[in-house]
Structure 1
Amino acid sequence: MFEWVANPAGWAALVTLSAMEIVLGIDNVVFISVLVSKLPRDQAERARRIGLLLALVFRVLLLFALTAIMRLTEPVFTIFGNGFSWRDIILIVGGAFLIAKATHEIHAEMEGPGESERRGAAPGAFTAAVAQITVIDLVFSVDSIVTAIGMAQDVSIMIIAVVIAMAVMYAASGPVSRFIAHHPTTKMLALAFLILIGVSLVAEGGEIHIPRGYIYSAMAFAAAVEAINVMAGRKRRKHAGGRGEA
């Protein structure tokens, strides 16, 4: 099982797959960060840990069911000459869910907090957040594992790469969640990212491949612009405070 350890090609596959899994995990981190940003701090931390643990469990379980995963890519029905597999269906449903969820959250942000939000998180908010994280974890896990199968042949390499990626995601999700919670404008940007990701998942399920590099480049550029805006806002507040004291 670990014969690849003595083979440089095995290590190259591990590094490449780990990097790919980390990149694919960005979508998951953004979604979890947006969801937990509306929860109290203690619940947000708990939901974040549960969400990432579920993501790890789903990925590892799917890796041990490689035969079933490969069958997910076989067409189950055809529409207008285009075959749709269970993987396509999962991606389309998951993408549609992301678009609907992000649109709903944007509408809520535009309308302002409701009465329940002003009083605090609703009693079932934590359970609802974990349930939604679970659904999206499954969608992203299927996409991630199908990609892993195409890049590596050894299950042990895939499992190690997934564990490495999940460790990086866990380390990054905390700062990302806190940043989104403290800067409302970045939450709107994150929601726009989720719509973009949802559209790409629906397109992928419909056999229309949108290179992920284009999507992540656009996200990185928008995030860089928003980071500049946040830093400029801090400097303006600092200068305004200094003038007030003078």
Structure 2
Amino acid sequence: MLALLSDPAAWASLAALTALEIVLGIDNLIFLSIVASRLPEHQQNTARRVGLMLALVMRLALLASIAWIVGLTEPIMTVADFDVSWRDIIMLGGGLFLLAKGTLEIHHTMEEEHQEGGKVASSFTSAIVQIVLLDIVFSLDSVITAVGMAEHLSVMITAVVISMIVMLVAAQPVGDFVNRHPTVKMLALAFLVLVGTMLVAEGLHFHVPRAYLYFAIAFSAGVEALNLLARRRRLKTKQAAAAPTGAGH
């Protein structure tokens, strides 16, 4: 370990892997925010923290069993010349779950606008179960990436821990922001459907470069940020125009 501290290559690997782990954690954070938003307000932050801590435990456990992780990519059966591994099955299952979850949440969000009762809260246990299911998929993807990028287990573990600390700090602000802006929530749900589609494609051996996915997310988020700024300016203009009228009365 002391030798690694003086190795510039190890530090470079740590920096690159930490940055990548944070980027890969974006979809996990979005999913956490959406699931937690259906809980009563006093439980939302707890659900986010529990979900991220479970994700950290899973990733560290997976890193501690690297030989098993490598074995997950080996074919376990062949269907019509199509080799199927446990990783393919997990990616397919996780992708289909995200597609179903994203579609149902979009439907619920649209229905809420026509119901006076507001959103229907889910149970804390149900939310945690959903978070755990997707944590398994996201953790597997994250750890396989870490194993491919770094040679030393200590570097992988450090990168994962740092990325999780960043996500823990960002979880509540991101969740609160998504809850305050319905259009941002709809965009986040569209991201979930996009990530689900990508996971299904990966499970079927159609490799989709992550750069395409994150460019689409970054571009859409940029457009939405401009919309929010324009909306805020229009609101300030209306308030400024109404101020003299109010003062006259």
TM-score by length of 1: 0.94
1:153 pairs with 2:151: yes
Residue of structure 2 in register with 1:127 after alignment = 125
Residue of structure 1 in register with 2:112 after alignment = 112
Task: Using the TM superposition, give the Cα deviation of residue 127 of structure 1 relative to its aligned residue in structure 2, in angstroms.
Answer: 1.5
Task: Using the TM superposition, give the Cα deviation of residue 52 of structure 1 relative to its aligned residue in structure 2, in angstroms.
Answer: 0.6
CA contact (8 A) 2:94 2:137 kept: yes
Indicate how the Cα distance of structure 1 residues 172 and 242 shifts in structure 2: closer, same or farther if over 3 A, else same.
Answer: same
Indicate how the Cα distance of structure 1 residues 43 and 132 shifts in structure 2: closer, same or farther if over 3 A, else same.
Answer: same
Residue of structure 2 in register with 1:87 after alignment = 87
Indicate how the Cα distance of structure 1 residues 2 and 100 shifts in structure 2: closer, same or farther if over 3 A, else same.
Answer: farther
Q: How many residues align?
A: 244
Measure the CA separation in 1 of the matches of 2:198 and 2:224.
Answer: 22
Task: Using the TM superposition, give the Cα deviation of residue 69 of structure 1 relative to its aligned residue in structure 2, in angstroms.
Answer: 0.9
Measure the CA separation in 1 of the matches of 2:113 and 2:238.
Answer: 28
Question: Paired residue for 2:238, among 224, 237, 240?
Answer: 240
User: Identity over aligned residues, as a percent?
Assistant: 51
Task: Using the TM superposition, give the Cα deviation of residue 80 of structure 1 relative to its aligned residue in structure 2, in angstroms.
Answer: 2.1
Residue of structure 2 in register with 1:35 after alignment = 35
Say which SS state the counterpart of residue 186 (structure 2) adopts.
helix
Structure 2 counterpart of 1:39, one-letter code? L
Task: Using the TM superposition, give the Cα deviation of residue 84 of structure 1 relative to its aligned residue in structure 2, in angstroms.
Answer: 1.2
Indicate how the Cα distance of structure 1 residues 191 and 79 shifts in structure 2: closer, same or farther if over 3 A, else same.
Answer: same
Say which SS state the counterpart of residue 49 (structure 2) adopts.
helix
Structure 2 counterpart of 1:208, one-letter code? F
Structure 2 counterpart of 1:63, one-letter code? L
Residue of structure 1 in register with 2:172 after alignment = 174
Which segments of 5 or more consecutive residues in structure 2 lack a partner in the other structure? 245-249
Residue of structure 2 in register with 1:165 after alignment = 163
Measure the CA separation in 1 of the matches of 2:2 and 2:147.
Answer: 17
Pair member with larger Rg: 2
Structure 2 counterpart of 1:36, one-letter code? A
Task: Using the TM superposition, give the Cα deviation of residue 113 of structure 1 relative to its aligned residue in structure 2, in angstroms.
Answer: 5.7
Task: Using the TM superposition, give the Cα deviation of residue 65 of structure 1 relative to its aligned residue in structure 2, in angstroms.
Answer: 1.0
Task: Using the TM superposition, give the Cα deviation of residue 120 of structure 1 relative to its aligned residue in structure 2, in angstroms.
Answer: 6.3
CA contact (8 A) 2:76 2:85 kept: yes
Residue of structure 2 in register with 1:14 after alignment = 14
Indicate how the Cα distance of structure 1 residues 119 and 25 shifts in structure 2: closer, same or farther if over 3 A, else same.
Answer: closer
Measure the CA separation in 1 of the matches of 2:198 and 2:119.
Answer: 34
Which segments of 5 or more consecutive residues in structure 1 lack a partner in the other structure? none
The ranges of structure 1 where at least 4 consecutive aligned residues each deviate by more than 6 angstroms after the TM superposition are: none
Measure the CA separation in 2 of the matches of 1:186 and 1:26.
Answer: 14
Structure 2 counterpart of 1:22, one-letter code? I
1:98 pairs with 2:98: yes
Measure the CA separation in 1 of the matches of 2:172 and 2:232.
Answer: 21
User: How large is the Cα RMSD of the aligned pairs?
Assistant: 1.6
User: What are the Cα deviations for residues 94-133 of structure 1, in whole angstroms up to 9, with x where unaligned?
Assistant: 0110010000011111222687x927654x5221111101
Measure the CA separation in 2 of the matches of 1:119 and 1:22.
Answer: 33
Task: Using the TM superposition, give the Cα deviation of residue 38 of structure 1 relative to its aligned residue in structure 2, in angstroms.
Answer: 2.4
Measure the CA separation in 2 of the matches of 1:161 and 1:119.
Answer: 41
Measure the CA separation in 1 of the matches of 2:233 and 2:123.
Answer: 35
Structure 1 counterpart of 2:24, one-letter code? L
Residue of structure 1 in register with 2:229 after alignment = 231
